[in-house]
Amino acid sequence: MMFWYDHGIGGWGLFAMSVSMILFWALVIGVVFLLVRGLNRPQENGRTRSAPEEILDVRLARGEINEEEYRRRLNALRTGPG
């Protein structure tokens, strides 16, 4: 005689295994996503550049302002008003 139902898992066991498998794969995918996002983040060299500093960089590169004007404005941005 075969024991088809005596040693098997019930409905709740199957449900628990299904939910745990979904949670496991969600965790694995989440960790991979966070690793990829973290590794693709641009490296910061101690100080992040603000938007006005980036605008000054672009204007200098285009030739709209000279290096003396660039340094004067950059210094004014970093020291603040006054």
Q: In the chain, what are the domain boundaries?
A: 50-82
pLDDT of residue 77: 87
Q: How far apart are CA 72 and CA 67, in angstroms?
A: 9
Instruction: Return the axis-axis angle of helices 67-79 and 51-62, rounded to nearest 10°.
Output: 180
pLDDT of residue 58: 92
pLDDT of residue 11: 78
Q: CB 26: neighbour CB atoms within 10 A?
A: 10
pLDDT of residue 1: 47
Q: What is the mean pLDDT of each run of 10 residues along the chain (82 residues)?
A: 59 88 98 92 63 90 93 88 66
pTM over 0.85: no
